[in-house]
Structure 1
Amino acid sequence: MNAETMKNRFKFTNPEIIADIEKHQKSIVYLAGHHANFEWMTSFQLCPTQREGFGIYKRIRNPYFDQLAKDIRGKFFIELIDKNEIANLIKQHSKNNQLVNYGMIADQAPRHTKNAYWGKFMGLDSPMFVGTEIFAKKHDLALAFIHVKKVKRGYYEAEIKQITSEPKSFKNFEITDRYFQLVEEEIKETPELYFWTHKRWKHL
């Protein structure tokens, strides 16, 4: 699929908000949920931005399939970075004053839950990843959410919702709670499009 076809099939409805967020002169984390065709969100860099883009993913053990996944997901000007390397990458970008875009999906269940933060998600007490919030506060990153709707088979629309450009003004876990609220709103609109098979509540 070429870039023009992708832009037609996965359309951002309010790309003008990107310029508003970028005016704050901060790197931006674009968050999303495992909802609708979330794999196509890597086409974000086709929106009007001059910044480099990095997508966070979990490395596949098989080198062949890992490279295949990186080639497919990174087709549209985004570089995939293993989740274990993202902390050092953000630190490096911050140190060098590089303004970039990061794409993260963080609604999975943490592997270790004993010391995890537990918040409310779909009415249930749920363990939650807080890494994004920690990175945002430590390095003063702006945050936005990509809300996706299915138009028809093979066609989607994505709305960018700004979360904050001042993460340090939030109390601990408020950003994480806000993220899960936005994912929950998506699910309630079209529950059939959520990726239920990733066992979000396997620890309950």
Structure 2
Amino acid sequence: MPFLVYILVYPFLWLISILPFRILYLISDGLYVVLYYIVGYRKKVVISNLRTVFPNKTEEERNLITKKFYKHLCDMFLEMAKTMSISKKELQKRFNITNPEELQRLESLNKSIILIFGHYASWEWSIEVQNHINYKGFGVYKKLANPYFDKLVRDIRSKFKTTLISTKETIHAINQNEAQGVKSIIGFLSDQSPKLSKEVYWGHFMGIKVPCFTGAERLAKKLDLTTAYLKVTKIKRGYYEGEIITLAENSKDYKDYELTDLFLREVEKQIENAPEFYFWTHKRWKHRA
């Protein structure tokens, strides 16, 4: 069954990926109508999240954010498919790293880098970072249930010199590289809700106390790596900017959870500035203290 689903869906994804951007966004406009007005894809979750995070905004203001979010979501879905065939030159044009000199400065410290970012704007095209650094690039991700699509995603990332590793593989892979003297830049998406456990850290995100992922911080502190935040901003449709914000050059010097809190503050600032570009379909605030 997984292979059947793959062979049925793959040709459609490939066709989408080779379309010109102007056609891609016409399709996105149609998809928005279907998802928002007809299907109502996870609309209850989005509305609930916005009410939780922005209780002081009017219903009209939250509805406007919701509509803008769904338009962005549809663009992002199709941009993900476009990644299958996008060229390095085109990706560089559409995802501009505004301060590559900061990456080069961090590289000169001769320490591996933990690059944390959130589900904001375009995390898929953040693979462009790899073109500005000599370090070996890794992206920590959750394996897809369908092994054929999982391999497809891995192959797409490897085309841009980034190797995907599962959360279970992360510590072993980084320790192995460090032992061999190979420096790495490791990307973590760390803003969503982890599974509850007794050891989970409860921090404040958008003014609400919630469980938080701390894997990136723990790895950075254990190996004394550099920790940085990738601030992704949507400039206009199909165009993004990425800014490298250094959080800690010597991560081991920071108190427990301090780096996690610094990261969350950066994500919060972006959400406050333009909430429509955050990934509101995830149940981020389902657990609260």
Q: How would you bin the TM-score normalised by the shorter chain?
A: over 0.9
- Measured in 2, the distance between the counterparts of 1:190 and 1:94 equals 38
1:146 correspondence with 2:230: yes
- Aligned AA (1:133): E
C-alpha deviation, 1:146, in angstroms: 0.7
C-alpha deviation, 1:74, in angstroms: 3.2
- Which of residues 52, 57, 64 in structure 1 aligns to 2:148? 64
Higher helix share: 2
C-alpha deviation, 1:81, in angstroms: 0.7
C-alpha deviation, 1:75, in angstroms: 2.5
Q: 2:140 touches 2:164 (CA, 8 Å); kept in 1?
A: yes
1:77: which partner in 2? 161
- Superposed CA RMSD in Å reads 1.1
- Which of residues 120, 137, 157 in structure 1 aligns to 2:221? 137
Partner SS, residue 149 of structure 1 = strand
- Which of residues 91, 102, 125 in structure 2 aligns to 1:17? 102
2:129: which partner in 1? 44
Q: 1:27 touches 1:141 (CA, 8 Å); kept in 2?
A: yes
- Structure number with greater CO (CA < 8 Å, separation at least 6) is 1
TM-score (norm 1): 0.96
C-alpha deviation, 1:114, in angstroms: 3.5
1:30: which partner in 2? 115
- Measured in 1, the distance between the counterparts of 2:159 and 2:278 equals 24
Higher strand share: 1
- Which of residues 70, 92, 115 in structure 1 aligns to 2:199? 115
1:172: which partner in 2? 256
- Measured in 2, the distance between the counterparts of 1:70 and 1:149 equals 25
Partner SS, residue 150 of structure 2 = helix
- Measured in 2, the distance between the counterparts of 1:114 and 1:130 equals 14
- Measured in 2, the distance between the counterparts of 1:6 and 1:154 equals 10
Gaps of 5+ in 1: none
Deviations 1:52-86 (A, max 9, x none): 11111110121111111112233311111111110
Partner SS, residue 197 of structure 1 = coil
1:192: which partner in 2? 276
- Measured in 2, the distance between the counterparts of 1:26 and 1:177 equals 22
C-alpha deviation, 1:88, in angstroms: 0.9
1:4 correspondence with 2:89: yes
Q: 1:56 touches 1:102 (CA, 8 Å); kept in 2?
A: yes
Deviations 1:8-35 (A, max 9, x none): 0000011011111112110001111100
- Measured in 2, the distance between the counterparts of 1:22 and 1:51 equals 8
- Measured in 1, the distance between the counterparts of 2:198 and 2:209 equals 13
Q: 2:141 touches 2:166 (CA, 8 Å); kept in 1?
A: yes
Number of positions where the alignment pairs a residue of Structure 1 with one of Structure 2: 203
Look at both structures and tell me which one has the larger radius of gyration over its CA atoms.
2
- Aligned AA (1:8): K
Partner SS, residue 74 of structure 1 = helix
Report sequence identity in percent. Answer: 43
- Which of residues 179, 196, 205 in structure 2 aligns to 1:95? 179
Partner SS, residue 150 of structure 1 = strand
C-alpha deviation, 1:41, in angstroms: 0.7
Gaps of 5+ in 2: 1-85
TM-score (norm 2): 0.68
- Aligned AA (1:4): K
- Measured in 2, the distance between the counterparts of 1:130 and 1:158 equals 23
| Runs of at least 4 residues off by over 6 Å | none
